Structure 1
Amino acid sequence: MSSGKWTGWLLTVMMTTFVSHGYGQQQAALFPLSAVRLLESPFLQAQQTDAQYILSLDEDRLLAPFLKDAGIRPLKENYGNWESDGLDGHIAGHYLTAAAQMYAATGDTVFRNRLNYMLDWLEKCQQQNGNGYVGGIPDGKQVWQQVAQGRVEAVWQRWVPWYNLHKLYAGLVDAYQLTGSEQAKRILIGLSDWCLRLTDKLSDGQMQRMLGNEHGGMNEVFANVSRITGDERYMTLARRFSHRAILDPLLEHQDSLTGLHANTQIPKVVGFARIAALTGDKAWADAAEFFWNTVTLHRSVSFGGNSVREHFNSPDDFSPMLESREGPETCNSYNMLKLTKALFLANPDAKYIHYYERTLYNHILSSQHPEGGFVYFTPIRPAHYRVYSSSQQCFWCCVGSGIENHGKYGELIYAHHADELYVNLFIPSVLQWKQRALELSQETRFPFETSSTLKFSTQRPQRLVVKLRQPDWIAGAFEVQVNGKPVKLPPARNGYVSIARTWKNGDRITVRLPMRTTAEVLPDSSQWVSFVHGPLVLAAAAGRSAMPGLKADSSRWGHIAHGRLEPLEDAPLLVMEDPAHAPMPRETDTAGMVFGMAHLVEQAKYKNLELTPFFQLHDRRYILYWPYAAAEEVPGIKAAIRQKEQARRQKEEATVDVVYPGEQQPEADHQFKGGQTRAGFFRERHYRSGKDWFSYVLSGRGTTPAKLSITCYGAEKDRSFDIYVNDSRIGAITLTGEGGNAFKDHVFDLPAGISGGEPLTILFKARSSSAIGRIFEVRLLK
């Protein structure tokens, strides 16, 4: 028996053993994406809009980084933006997944043809390289050569190279699994073997140091390659690519997430869950479950998103998210839904679908413009707005996950296990269960009507247990009819009611779905509330004024809504004692799902505001979260908000550009470089310090800056360092501890002659026998 057949056979035996002990056995399975077709609904419209966006992209430009890397003359030049900024090639991997998904979801061969074209060129690049490698990372081969030599810190010399490469790996996995492409499988195995050789001589310590750099879900990829090939070597590699700094606290059920870059961590946990599903590792499964509970229950807002400026804020303080223009990131929810799906398949409990549904309707569906374009940040700051991508100019991470999001709405509407059929979501669709020669159509206008009808079409009567999810948002009793007659339902189990019978052609199930309206406070229990009707988060339109960059251009910060921040003290204030028992907004238009709230709003000028489903609000400012107070508290609440907001606004209005040291994306945006430096987290704020030097590049963005402000901690002492601007020393900071228990701004005049369009390199250099203190903010001021 060859070694490959032996390892495949051994893995099969191991998996059989785990299944026999009840571990690793999935309790539900997905139908192929090709088995579910969407019917007319907001989801079908979003799918069609996404399809046009995908088709607008030029494969030759997406392929250019790979051809350049392989020494092949590209047919066209790279796209710009992140595709020419160091993350060259990352969108191509997403494109493989998106094209494969759209082909499976629609059957339209144009997507299969595009997928094949991409694969043909990628295989040519792989063959040209001659060692299994294919990638578009600028000077990537130099990085991988250093890694192979044990110099794993080389991954910090490029913009997250493993994260970049993960998109290609994931795209190849999806191309094979969704379309059966043997070519995709061939490229995938060659690339996986290259990685085996690359990391073969690295110690576990070196691997773990390397994993300190963002690397996507590399562990999930190799778990999937192991499943595809039956080769256990890839499962070993999957475990080696599992970051112990994240896994170990989760194994101990410790929440150590505050301050971490959120979307760096979520894919790792998706990998933990996948490894657990395939190997039966119950401890890793429990770690993934603990993470999911932590994020969904304590770190997510009403629409399912999490993070501020891409980082997990403290679960005890959501004020940074309320104040920021950079709210929850769409990529985070994309990955949280992947994790949710994996946990549901291992343990079909409706709690997972409740979160999945909430996030699907309110974050994912809302993140695409009806005419095309994807959202990066969804601020919860009252009366701010979102920015949408332009197809030929914007290539952010949330564009990559965005082109995937809207092609897979059919993946979890239904699931099955043995003779059980799960109905999870009330989305108009048709299911083809080929193994049973059964078609199930779901006809509904939900959420704009409060019922859904399931119709069976079958060539022969057959016995099935239909498991209907009982939503947690139902108003009153859960009512079901079969063929027009009420059914006495058994008690729900794990959030599902089961109807077991022999189903015949033409049988119908009608489910009533009346929705209640509830108020949800933020997880930190602060006095901010959001309203939810059924699974739909409600929001109020707040005007269209001053929304620069609404349709983003190719600029480095184009994904951020840089327009004016409306004062928090001017936000509509609700008068209520206890949101759980207060009167709710009143539905004034049931057909359009419009709610009035004049009876709740304190200020007369806001009493005409109306709430509608958030996923329908585009091209305008909006309000998702509302401050509230009891009547006697209103003056004090207003005064406190006003005082804090005035100080923040003065600083914001004076700012030309700002970088938050220690935060991953702001540092990448500002071309961080450094030697002997470290990032950390202190008193809910990120910082960077160092023994030698580090620098950033800031921009005047057309405004001539006059001063440089550097924020340090007052009680820090025995630190002394110089500050340089474009190689000119402008001053020094010596920290003696006399500043006390507070953050202090050190302000310096900039050299004369600086123009608004000139990039400024700000460098911090430790003085002899000293070090650079913790720096929390670096701001250019007018």
Structure 2
Amino acid sequence: MLTLRRRELLAGAAAIAALPHAPAWAATAAVRAKPLPLAAVRLKPSDHARAVEANRAYLHRLQPDRLLHNFRKYAGLEPKAPIYGGWESDTIAGHTLGHYLTALVLMHQQTGDAEMRRRADTIVGELAEAQAKRGNGYVGALGRKRKDGSVVDGEEIFPEIMRGDIRSTGFDLNGSWAPLYTMHKLFAGLLDVHGAWGNLQALSVVEGLGAYFEKVFAPLTADQVQQVLACEYGGLAESYAELAARTGNARWLKMAALLYDKKVLDPIFAGEDRLANIHANTQIPKLIAQARIHEVSDAPDRAKAARFFWDRVTGHHSYVIGGNADREYFFEPDQIAKHITEQTCEHCNSYNMMKLTRHLWQWQPHGALFDYYERTHLNHTLAAQDPDTGGFTYMTPLMSGIAREFSSAEDDQFWCCVGSGMEAHSKHGDSIFWEGADGTLFVNLYIPADAQWAARRAQLSLETGYPYAGEATLSFARLKPGRFPVALRVPGWAAGKAEILVNGKPAQAQVSRGYASVTRHWKAGDSIAIRLPMELRLEPTQGDDGTVAVLRGPLVLAADLGPADQPFAGAAPALVGADLLAGFSASDPAGALYAARGVARPGDLAFAPFHRQYQRRSAVYFRRFTDGEWAAEEAAFLAEQARLKDLAARSVDVMHLGEMQPERDHDLTSEISYPVVYRGRQGRDARSGGFIEFTMKVKPGPLLLQSSYWGDERPRSFDILIDGQRIATQKLGHDKPGEFIDIDTPVPEALTRGKTSVRVKFVPHDRNTAGPVFGVRLFTQKQP
């Protein structure tokens, strides 16, 4: 049975907001360290500080009344401003406001901007008014699409669910897009406002929401609960655990335990990696919830599951920049080299993995945890924001030559990663300094900053040019003198080659668990510094030594392939030679800029930090060849690259079946149709009596429609139609066992003339299946 810890009740605790060597975990239930409060840390000039200021401008630009539109409308109150577009005009409306509340809190703490707090308190007041008007504890903006296509207040799905009428397709629940995921963002934002400065109205609104959803789940059987949880529900269990910690009320902990997706979590608890082909970010918050439940109730099995998940994701499912997933889905472990695509690394995944990392580190401090955190923080989080515009990426593509796409300056997209982005770039100072239970001062990130350490009445200053320079110096401008340890993280990539100096002189340090620690009587004016070797190295992908990335210290370097607003028509570059690093020379060491001469194919390359290539096309991964291998592979390698580039250049539109966002973007409709996964590739089929239909862009001239199938199917036949006219009858069978096949169908010009888009439809013959179809591409025919 889960019981609340006494220390959590007395403290009223707030939420605790691709490694080669994983840490050796020790069994413990104690939280051994905590970060210095974000409000006590001020950033000095750096890439991180620039990101915070770009994000602060973005948060100021957003209009709270527009985000509150549906909250007021559906409560029967007059909206004060028109609704935003993008996701905020879809049935997932309201998720952004939750993110925005959290971002306002964090930005106020990080910068002291009073307007951030004023906005947060105003929004809480508006939510309380809407909740009171409804009178049942519910408040929300999510919509529900009825069968006739009309969109109404999403609350109407919950009485249906209480009656046992539960219809989930993974991201849709009774016609609403991930409603419990959306509600979690609101829970979390309100809890953050309460935790930051004690806004009791925020806590009251959360308790009303908590009671409402407690009633929704109360009449459900165990199987019906699992039906509901088959639809993405975010970190709602974490919020209930946090609510239990804040209030001391065990009813909320009971709700946290109830929100447990057995299909996904049972294998993780059993120590089994069955992550392949499941939506990545749907799962990560479930493990954050297990971590928080462990902290509140001392449940070691939940801590063990969170650790196992972290180990598997970071060690077997993560790219070199720290992100994970291809087209939002995990794939088989150690298969990175097969999934270097234009849709890698959803930012929400990395944001949540970093949150999970902080939990694990607090239980058992180990430098390897922050090696991962730093890698992701530098190379993915910073890469996911354009500091010139404040826009955010959804995916951070690692396929050579693919440009990053940022959210618009008009703020009309509001993807999930816009929400996590506005949070991430509000708190770059939150994990630099930590205080151990034994009084140790830990430095986990080398980001220039000043900080107040209340326990020692200290003023800290961290001066560094890291990650471009290899030295960082921590000074005590003010300090209550005393004896205590200062522990500086020694990154695993430094291979133990770290020099520690105290007051400018070499010092002996105790090295353990990824830290160099000096214990002495410290006084005001003292300083401690670390020097690290910022050397180039090659890092192979997990499971494939023949595909490598180039790193310098903590930075992932990428080849610059030209401006993002210009097409890239070249082949993906490769590296050839017996000693590849010998071909690299520093062109600007201070900026971590390098030139690769004589070892790159098809020509010499310039390398720069990946995260800074906001408006550039780049290459991160490289096939590695010896001279002899290259001679044998060059022709085939270049021919395949040319074929793919030519196909991409001639493509008008591409549809990835079975994937949430592409299906929404292409307005997919279907009946008796199901998503499938073959060999890690997403697809969709339609059974007898059903269909799949979606919109694709077209352009004038002869076009081909290319459909991708699995080459080893039992016999099946179906028709392909464009705007209601059949263009082909497709028969599948045992054409190419063990391979995917692409089949091209000419599109009659009469069907596209004068149009900008068409509806493509797959209809199975009687007692047959259409597909599965794994991708559809419309592209121009080659001119003779």
Match of 1:560 in 2: none
Cα distance in 2 for residues equivalent to 1:394 and 1:117:
24
CA contact (8 A) 1:50 1:406 kept: yes
User: Which residue of 414, 421, 446 maps to 1:426?
Assistant: 446
Q: 1:566 and 1:523, CA in 2 relative to 1: closer, same or farther beyond 3 A?
A: farther
Letter in 2 for 1:628: R
Q: 1:182 and 1:16, CA in 2 relative to 1: closer, same or farther beyond 3 A?
A: closer
CA contact (8 A) 1:33 1:178 kept: no
Deviation, 1:572, is 3.0
Cα distance in 1 for residues equivalent to 2:627 and 2:744:
42
Deviation, 1:495, is 0.8
Q: 1:600 and 1:711, CA in 2 relative to 1: closer, same or farther beyond 3 A?
A: closer
Match of 1:465 in 2: 485
Match of 2:599 in 1: 600
Deviation, 1:746, is 5.0
Question: Does 2:433 match 1:436?
Answer: no
Match of 2:16 in 1: none
Deviation, 1:715, is 2.6
Match of 1:451 in 2: 471
Match of 2:574 in 1: 573
| 1:13-412 matches, cutoff 5 A | 23-138=28-143, 139=152, 140-153=154-167, 155=173, 157-322=175-340, 324-371=341-388, 372-392=390-410, 393-412=412-431
User: Which residue of 634, 654, 660 maps to 2:656?
Assistant: 660
CA contact (8 A) 2:319 2:336 kept: no
Cα distance in 1 for residues equivalent to 2:190 and 2:216:
19
Q: 1:631 and 1:758, CA in 2 relative to 1: closer, same or farther beyond 3 A?
A: closer
Q: Give % identity.
A: 36
Does 168-177 or 154-163 show the bigger shift? 154-163
Deviation, 1:222, is 1.5
User: Which residue of 525, 534, 537 maps to 2:544?
Assistant: 525
Deviation, 1:76, is 1.3
SS in 2 for 1:11: coil
SS in 2 for 1:542: strand
Does 593-602 or 514-523 show the bigger shift? 593-602
CA contact (8 A) 1:159 1:668 kept: no
CA contact (8 A) 1:24 1:346 kept: yes
Match of 1:621 in 2: 617
Match of 1:11 in 2: 4
Deviation, 1:51, is 0.4
Cα distance in 1 for residues equivalent to 2:661 and 2:156:
24
Letter in 1 for 2:772: R
Does 151-160 or 45-54 show the bigger shift? 151-160
Cα distance in 1 for residues equivalent to 2:324 and 2:27:
33
Letter in 1 for 2:102: T
CA contact (8 A) 1:81 1:394 kept: yes
Letter in 1 for 2:4: L
SS in 1 for 2:692: strand
User: Which residue of 561, 564, 577 maps to 1:542?
Assistant: 561
Cα distance in 2 for residues equivalent to 1:262 and 1:33:
29
Letter in 1 for 2:379: N
Deviation, 1:633, is 0.8
SS in 2 for 1:344: helix
User: Which residue of 701, 706, 711 maps to 2:708?
Assistant: 711
Cα deviation, 1:199-256, whole Å, max 9, x if unaligned, reads: 1111221222222222221222212112112222222222222222221121222221
CA contact (8 A) 1:204 1:240 kept: no
Cα distance in 1 for residues equivalent to 2:778 and 2:587:
48
Does 727-736 or 144-153 show the bigger shift? 727-736
Q: 1:187 and 1:479, CA in 2 relative to 1: closer, same or farther beyond 3 A?
A: same
CA contact (8 A) 2:700 2:752 kept: no
Deviation, 1:586, is 2.6
- TM-score norm. by structure 2 comes to 0.89
Letter in 1 for 2:208: G
CA contact (8 A) 2:696 2:760 kept: no
Q: 1:12 and 1:283, CA in 2 relative to 1: closer, same or farther beyond 3 A?
A: closer
Deviation, 1:360, is 0.8
Match of 2:148 in 1: none
Cα distance in 1 for residues equivalent to 2:140 and 2:287:
25
SS in 1 for 2:475: strand
Question: Does 2:696 match 1:699?
Answer: yes
Aligned structure 1 segments of 4 or more residues deviating by more than 6 angstroms: 14-17
SS in 1 for 2:494: coil
Cα distance in 1 for residues equivalent to 2:739 and 2:447:
52
Deviation, 1:650, is 4.9
Match of 1:689 in 2: 685
CA contact (8 A) 2:322 2:372 kept: yes
Cα distance in 1 for residues equivalent to 2:589 and 2:395:
30
**Structure 1 unmatched runs, 5+:** 1-6, 548-563
Q: 1:573 and 1:658, CA in 2 relative to 1: closer, same or farther beyond 3 A?
A: closer
Does 413-422 or 582-591 show the bigger shift? 582-591
Deviation, 1:177, is 1.9
Cα deviation, 1:179-204, whole Å, max 9, x if unaligned, reads: 32222211111111111011111122
SS in 2 for 1:636: helix
SS in 2 for 1:153: coil
CA contact (8 A) 2:549 2:620 kept: yes
Cα distance in 1 for residues equivalent to 2:7 and 2:668:
46
- TM-score norm. by structure 1 comes to 0.89
SS in 1 for 2:391: coil
Cα deviation, 1:533-575, whole Å, max 9, x if unaligned, reads: 111111232212644xxxxxxxxxxxxxxxx4534xx233322
Cα deviation, 1:374-406, whole Å, max 9, x if unaligned, reads: 122222222222122223233222111111111
CA contact (8 A) 2:383 2:396 kept: no
Q: 1:747 and 1:517, CA in 2 relative to 1: closer, same or farther beyond 3 A?
A: closer
Letter in 2 for 1:346: W
Q: 1:477 and 1:773, CA in 2 relative to 1: closer, same or farther beyond 3 A?
A: closer
Letter in 2 for 1:525: D
CA contact (8 A) 2:671 2:692 kept: no
Deviation, 1:576, is 2.9
Could you say what the CA RMSD is over the residues aligned between the two structures, in angstroms? 2.7
Cα distance in 1 for residues equivalent to 2:77 and 2:700:
42
Cα distance in 2 for residues equivalent to 1:540 and 1:715:
39
CA contact (8 A) 2:5 2:296 kept: no
Cα distance in 2 for residues equivalent to 1:72 and 1:637:
67
SS in 1 for 2:4: helix
User: Which residue of 633, 640, 643 maps to 1:644?
Assistant: 640
SS in 1 for 2:562: coil
